[in-house]
Amino acid sequence: MTVFISIYKIMKLAKNYSSLRTEIDQLLIKKLDNSKFPETLIEPIRYIFLNKGKKVRSIILAESCALFDVKYTKILHVALALECIHTYSLIHDDLPAMDDDDYRRGELTLHKKYDEATAILVGDALISLAFELISEDRGLSAECRLQLIYNLALNSGGKGMVGGQMLDIGLKPREASVESIKKMQQMKTGDLFCFAFTAGPIIAGSGSDDEEKLFEFGKLFGLIFQISDDLIDVESTLTEAGKSVNKDQNMDKATYVDHYGIDEAKRLMKAYVKEAKGILEKYGSKAQPLLSLCETLSNRRS
Ligand code: IPE
Ligand code: IPE
Ligand code: MG
Ligand code: MG
Ligand code: MG
């Protein structure tokens, strides 16, 4: 029953945000058409991106803006930039030198469909494209663009996502403390979410108090999202998840699930969801979409 409720909620989530996801895809198509990239780069980017992925980070970005009455049409360039960085992180995460995965987003990983050099270079191109997209977004002030570029660089780089991925490959279950797993998960996954959550107050110019609150929420949300990802690895299937499962144990990964076991990891994740809800209390019912996302995504199977 819980599974059905969860699938229903995910479907509802996808339906509610389908125009946002389509517009992000359309912007990418337009951008690639005018990019002067070689066709050998354009084709694999289209393959890994279009009609693929949940685009959760963009949905969060849109809802974080909605909290401050900024319409989602204003943030499409930033949303696409964020999805470019996230997609590059997945392409590189799947490489043989990292998690060595064969399936992503329901199809072959990029290096399996094409080759490793293409996967590396597509990832590289997506990083530059992300910063190009925000730089050229004339719908935002120059000051706002600079702040977003700076935040995206920090959150995606060595002190954020890339740093977390580096910790991930060095952390072994037997030696890992809970603190070290938490830090790694919040960096590799949480920091890009923090970018999405804090972009709302930055774009709206609503001030540092709001940024701090949403940053705090983003850190917890990242942890919740990664624990649910680690649960997918042990409880879901290749067909449901669209990516290989039962990988974390085989690859000797330190996760909450490995450390605490499935039941305790779920209990802790629920406690984090409760804690996260408290952070957004001051926004009242306006925060409801973000709270629902948090709840729904903690119950997902893909
Ligand atoms: C997967 O992210 C990698 C993690 C950070 C856990 P998503 O679950 O958001 O992947 P897509 O974009 O929907 O494929
Ligand atoms: C990856 O975590 C997080 C990234 C920053 C890409 P995982 O390695 O658990 O993600 P999946 O399970 O391959 O999507
Ligand atoms: Mg990984
Ligand atoms: Mg992986
Ligand atoms: Mg995983």
Q: How far apart are CA 125 and CA 129, in angstroms?
A: 6
Side-chain-side CA neighbours of residue 68 (13 Å)? 23
Pick from 78, 254, 238: nearest CA to 246:
238
Q: Determine, yes or no, domain membership for 159.
A: yes
Yes or no: say if 91 and 65 are a contact pair by the CB < 8 Å rule. Answer: no
Q: Determine, yes or no, domain membership for 193.
A: yes
The single-letter DSSP state of residue 68 is T
Q: Determine, yes or no, domain membership for 27.
A: yes
In the chain, how many domains are there? 1
DSSP string, 186-247: IIIIIHHHHHHHHHHHHHHT--HHHHHHHHHHHHHHHHHHHHHHHHHHHHS-HHHHSS--S-
Q: Determine, yes or no, domain membership for 2.
A: no
Per-residue pLDDT of the chain (302 residues), as tens digits, is: 444 445 545 555 555 689 999 999 999 999 999 999 999 999 999 999 999 999 999 999 999 999 999 998 999 999 999 999 999 999 999 999 999 999 999 999 999 999 999 999 999 999 999 999 999 999 999 999 999 999 999 999 999 999 999 999 999 998 899 999 999 999 999 999 999 999 999 999 998 999 999 999 999 999 999 999 999 999 999 999 999 999 999 999 999 999 999 999 999 999 999 999 999 999 999 999 999 999 999 989 89
Q: Determine, yes or no, domain membership for 194.
A: yes
Please tell me the distance between residue 168's alpha carbon and the centre of ligand 3 in angstroms. 7
Longest CA pairwise span in the chain (Å): 51
pTM of the model: 0.95
Residue 219 belongs to domain with CATH number: 1.10.600.10
Which residues is 103 bridged to in the sheet?
108
Please tell me the distance between residue 106's alpha carbon and the centre of ligand 4 in angstroms. 14
Q: Determine, yes or no, domain membership for 258.
A: yes
| CA-proximal residue: ligand 2, atom 14 (nearest) | 90
Please tell me the distance between residue 203's alpha carbon and the centre of ligand 4 in angstroms. 32
Write out residues with Cβ below 6 Å of ligand 2. Answer: 89-90, 93, 99, 101, 161, 165, 188-189, 229, 243
Q: Determine, yes or no, domain membership for 1.
A: no
Residue 269's domain spans which residues? 7-299
Q: Determine, yes or no, domain membership for 174.
A: yes
Q: Is any atom of ligand 1 closer than 6 Å to the C-beta of 164? A: no
Q: Is any atom of ligand 1 closer than 6 Å to the C-beta of 56? A: yes
